[in-house]
Structure 1
Amino acid sequence: MTEPVARDRSALITATAFVVALSLRPALTAVGPVLPRIGLDLHLGEAAQGLLGTLPLLAFAVASPLVHLASRRFGMERAVFVSLLVLAASSALRPYTGQAGLWIGTAVVGAAIAVGNVLVPVIIKRDYAGHVSRATGVYTAFITGGAAIASILAVPIADAVDWRLSLAVWGGLAVLVAVIWLPRTLAPEPMPPATTDDGVPPVSVWRQPMAWLVTGFMGLQSTSFYLFVNWLPTIEIATGGVSERSTGVHLFIFQVFGLIGGLSIPLLLKHPTNQRAGLMTASVPILLALLGLLVAPHLAIVWAIVGGLGQGAGLVAALSLISLRGRGHHETTQLSGMAQAVGYTLAAAGPVVAGYLTQVTGGWSTTLSVFATLAAVQVVLGFAAGRDTRST
């Protein structure tokens, strides 16, 4: 094999990290559009349906801090491969094993996805060390694309067959991705050094101030994202008089501009030591969108666009920050697990708290004020976490 061919083949195998991203959301986003059918068929009330939608996030929170143990034991590539097989089996079986199987399967789906959530950004940092932010932007674009495809196809598949197949079919995607990923598991994986990249003995990320800044940023951007995804249509109907059909269009626009924001923000994150410009640019639009919904709800489509840009950029910024602030593969894996554990705990609580506040106060003003305050805290955390690391 000639050197150019070998190089092309290596680049192709390296790019399979992006393919894995395609499989990290369909098993989740396919549920929402058919949730009423699931509830009707299995006699689940609205509260149970809401918990079913939140369960994967809780599984993320529980499993994420433990992923580094599997990574150390089996290696990152093999851990991802096994998680894809588990994801495939749990996705395919959960619709056909009754109510108990649905709950257990959904929790297992969340735990399997958590492995990819934690490890794939670390693998990207290793494989694209000189272009971490740009590669992370592509990675999140693949995540968004996979999520959108599943959301669009869920109802047509359910109409053509039933809701069970509309969930199970994504197990086939996970199998396909596992086959594509398999070559990466066959080569020996280099053992990372016991020290960090700067030669300093590792210290638990739970004891590092910078790790808590990164974790706080990740958690707050996740919280606002799931507030938008779960409640934006309801907020628009209640405060802006927007029609139900239009809210669906606005939510789609929110996701499209999230993709644009995610692909654009790496330009502001490419500085090797200082990412303040990128983190501020990603955070401020989220604050503006929440304030806009509060004071000018009739401009809902504007706030959907602004919020989408901020949320897409915020996810890329958070994942890039994890890679850029982690000193070495082991520490980055632990930081990723910590940030996602706390982040998805907040994300799971956010929509519930929003609903409770709205129910107690009888309107959305208090809720939007509280979440706008949290978005302001995200701006502050981003400013602190994005500082020039050469001064630390």
Structure 2
Amino acid sequence: MIKVTPSLARQNIVLILGMLLIATTLRVTFTGAAPLLDAIRSDYGLSTAQTGLLTTLPLLAFALVSPLAAGIARRIGIERSLLLALLLICAGIALRSLPVPALLFTGTAVIGCGIALGNVLLPGLIKRDFAGQVAKLTGAYSLTMGAAAALGSALVVPLALSGFGWRGALLALMAFPLLALLFWLPQMRKQHMPATLTASGGLHNRGIWRSSLAWQVTLFLGLNSLIYYVIIGWLPAILQSYGYSEAQAGSLHGLLQLATAAPGILIPLILHRLRDQRYIAVLVALMCAVGTVGLWLLPSQAILWTLIFGFGSGATMILGLTFIGLRASSAHQAAALSGMAQSVGYLLAACGPPLMGSLHDTLGDWHLPLLLCALLSALMAAFGAYAGRDQEISAR
């Protein structure tokens, strides 16, 4: 029986608090810019395509950097890698706030690289240090990530209008990574060797791409990323096409982000009682389908459909991240699987919004894009039925 000393308990509390504060930086510094895109476009005279690049760049960075994260952690250690992630996010925020158009895009890409490291490595850290509490801690950091994103979206416009301007409002978002840095620095005193994630990392990195279970987890999480970023990117335009005002559409956009955070409270409590997660994976994926079909067929009830879709998408993300820890046989394999899932997922996410936008421009309405999102949600449910089985990826 392992005795937990008060000192060890305090160390775990500081570690968990540091993890949760890192989680607050992994969405707000990206999505917090969305309410200010019109102001940025007007100030710099950007085209619609150039403005859209500010949304696509971080997703491309996620896709490109995610497969490298496990290797970086193997070389310098997972604690130092997460410190590097926070420093990159801070540097990117500073760069994009400078009055130089090129640095706006450079800083946005740097932020994406930092977020990618954090996205990939947090599940590996949870697997290593809290293997018996994967679902609970995944839910907790998903909740804090969503809550911080909603808070950031609510604050940036008032800050910009109060005299700070859009640059000052975006610079204010640095408060999130700076606070996380303050609480993460104590982890640098730990003497974890870089090989903590296991010495067979290269084998895991290669083998993970040949595992059918790894692909099932990857596509479950990846399709959710695609659908989520389509809806989060186009929901205001969809609602305005159905007669909602800009203010109403903006309010529902914020409600969507809150709805995605809510499952962080409920889902871990349910997962704790389940031997496998097949049925709940199918259920929450189908909630995304119901939400998108509802927006198409009965847009007058958009609040209901936004809540259903947001809860389903948020729950799917928590399940997908939990699967990374539950299906992996080691901490390094969890990091490698996380890199694979998030690389594929964000590559799909980067393609989704422009593709659906092009379909809208061609057809003149949002019916087909919403129908495609519903069909992709049904496909996601099928992958969830396989990914939710109680088994691990082979360690070979």
TM-score > 0.5 by shorter chain: yes
Separation of aligned partners in 1, 2:346 and 2:84? 22
- 5 Å matches for 1:65-76? 65-76=67-78
Partner of 1:79: 81
Other structure's SS at 2:329 match: coil
How far off is 1:287 after superposition? 0.9
**Are 2:139 and 2:264, in contact at CA under 8 Å, matched by a contact in 1?**
yes
Larger deviation, residues 178-187 vs 162-171: 162-171
Please give the per-residue CA displacement for 1:82-129, whole angstroms capped at 9, x wherever unaligned. 221121122112221511111111111100111101001211222221
Paired position in structure 2 for 1:7: 8
> What do the CA deviations read for 1:335-357 (whole angstroms, capped 9, x no partner)?
10110011011111111111111
Deviations 1:314-345 (A, max 9, x none): 11011101111111111111110110011011
2:119 aligned partner:
117
2:211 partner letter: Q
* Distance in 2 separating the partners of 1:91 and 1:382: 36
- Structure 1 residues 213 and 262: CA distance shift in structure 2, 3 A: same
Root-mean-square deviation over aligned CA pairs: 2.2
**Preserved contact between residue 262 and residue 314 of structure 1 (Cα < 8 Å):** no
Structure 1 residue 229: deviation in Å? 0.9
**Equivalent residues in 2 for 1:271-290, closer than 5 Å:** 274-290=276-292
Residue segments in structure 2 that go unaligned for 5+ positions in a row? none
- Does 2:172 match 1:162? no
Take 1:359 and 1:202, find their aligned partners in 2: how far apart are those partners? 41
* Structure 1: segments with no counterpart, 5+ residues: none
| 2:174 match: secondary structure | helix
The change in CA–CA distance for 1:310 and 1:359 in structure 2 (over 3 A counts) is same
Residue 20 of structure 1 aligns to a residue in which SS? helix
Give the Å deviation of 1:145: 1.6
Contact 1:229 1:251 in 2 (8 A): yes
8 Å CA contact retained: 1:94, 1:104: yes
Contact 2:88 2:111 in 1 (8 A): yes
Displacement, 1:194?
A: 4.0
Q: Which residue of 2 aligns with 1:353?
A: 355
Does 2:383 correspond to 1:381? yes
Query: What is the letter of the counterpart of residue 138 of structure 1?
Result: A
For residue 280 of structure 1, report the CA deviation from its aligned partner: 1.9
Mean Cα deviation higher: 173-182 or 216-225: 173-182
In 1, distance between residues paired with 2:68 and 2:156? 31
1:339 has 2:346 as partner: no
1:323-334 alignment runs, 5 A limit: 323-334=325-336
Q: Structure 2 residue aligned with 1:128, among 127, 130, 136?
A: 130
Q: Which 10-residue stretch deviates more, 118-127 or 130-139? A: 118-127
Deviation at 1:36, TM superposition (A): 1.4
Give the 5 Å matches for 1:249-264.
Answer: 249-264=251-266
1:10 partner amino acid: Q
> What is the deviation of 1:156?
1.8
Q: Contact 1:60–1:111 (CA<8 Å) still a contact in 2? A: yes
Match of 1:225 in 2: 228
SS in structure 2 of the partner of residue 23 of structure 1:
helix
- Cα deviations by residue, 1:238-286 (Å, 9 ceiling, x for unpaired): 24x3333222222222222222223211233235752113312321110
The Cα of 1:37 is off from its aligned counterpart by 1.5
* 1:368 maps onto 2:370 in alignment: yes
Query: Relative to structure 1, is the Cα distance of residues 8 and 390 closer, same or farther in structure 2, using a 3 angstrom cutoff?
Result: closer
Q: Structure 1 residues 65, 303: CA separation in 2 closer, same or farther (over 3 Å shift)?
A: same
Note if contact 2:214-2:393 (Cα within 8 Å) is conserved in structure 1. Answer: no
389 and 4 in structure 1: CA distance in 2 versus 1, 3 angstrom threshold = closer
Q: Which moved more, 1:268-277 or 1:306-315?
A: 268-277
**What residue number does 2:22 align with?**
20
2:28 & 2:367 partners in 1: Cα distance? 33
Q: What residue in structure 2 maps to residue 144 of structure 1?
A: 146
Distance 1:390 1:221 in 2: 22
Aligned residue among 294, 297, 300 for 2:296: 294
Regions of 4+ moved over 6 Å: none
Kindly provide the amino acid, as one letter, of the partner of residue 25 in structure 1. Answer: R
Look up the equivalent residue of 1:229 and give its one-letter code. Answer: I
Question: Could you say if the C-alpha distance between residues 275 and 98 of structure 1 is closer, same or farther in structure 2, counting changes exceeding 3 Å?
Answer: same
- Counterpart of 1:7 in structure 2: which amino acid? L
Aligned to 2:63: 61
Q: TM-score, normalised by structure 2?
A: 0.92
Alpha carbons of structure 1 residues 237 and 39: separation in structure 2 relative to 1, 3 Å: closer
The one-letter amino acid of 1:250's match is L
Aligned to 2:45: 43
* AA aligned opposite 2:261: L
Cα deviation digits, residues 27-73 of structure 1 (max 9, x gap):
21221111112112212112111111221111111110011111011
1:202 deviates by 7.8
Aligned pair count reads 387
Query: What secondary structure, in the 3-state scheme, does the structure 2 residue paired with 1:161 have?
Result: helix
Seen in structure 2, the aligned counterparts of structure 1 residues 146 and 372 have a Cα distance that, compared at 3 Å, is same
Deviates more, 1:210-219 or 1:183-192: 183-192
Query: Contact (CA 8 Å) 2:326, 2:392: kept in 1 or not?
Result: no
Matched letter for residue 190 of structure 2: A
Distance 2:257 2:144 in 1: 13
> Aligned partners of 1:30, 1:391: CA distance in 2, in Å?
36
